[in-house]
Amino acid sequence: MQKVLEMVRVKLRYLVVEIRPEISKHLQVVTDAGHLYAVIKNKILETHGDFGLASIQRYLNVKYVNPYTNVAIVRTKRGTQDVVSTSLTFLRSLNGSTVVFRTLHVGGTVRSCQKFLAHYHLRQLPQLLHDCKTKSERVAVQKAILGYNAAKIYSFKRKDEVDEGTEDMDIFSAE
């Protein structure tokens, strides 16, 4: 009789990481997932050596990057998320800017990370929109955070700005 080997599914972890520039909190330091992946991979090699890199390289991936909020989702194998997290702490430069990496959330699925990011971005949205100087910047931030559904964008206006012909819509309404 022949034995049938059953495969066990690979369990992954997803780290929601915020990249904070030290000079200006509104500086866009991360623009490309591929570049961020290479920087993280090199830092893991530097801090944990060949063994550390070999243990995570197959499953390491940058799944999501938002250049407006400087947030990324990094995938790794369960049990090795500490290797990635500690390497991110030692990472101090990205695209020529001095940065600090902060792990906001560790989840088991991309969906749980997306839920966390939705709540996190909605909490950050008023401050981000207040710091925008032009209407085009504000629209770009709204699209990045709320998605490309412009009909549900809640418009935060500055006191010195008059915008005729537009109607504010609530993002919390169920449409």
The pLDDT assigned to 29 comes to: 79
Q: Which domains does the chain have, with CATH numbers?
A: 12-152 (3.30.70.3250)
Q: Which residue has the higher pLDDT, 128 or 60?
A: 60
Per-residue b or e along 82-93, where b marks 16 or more CB atoms closer than 10 Å to that residue's CB: ebbbebbeebee
Confidence of residue 10 (pLDDT cuts 50, 70, 90): confident
The pLDDT assigned to 13 comes to: 96
Residue 24 has pLDDT above 80, yes or no: no
Residue 129 has pLDDT above 90, yes or no: no
Residue 67 has pLDDT above 90, yes or no: no
How would DSSP label each residue in 147-175? Answer: -S-GGGPPP---TT---TT-----TTS--
pTM for the whole structure = 0.72
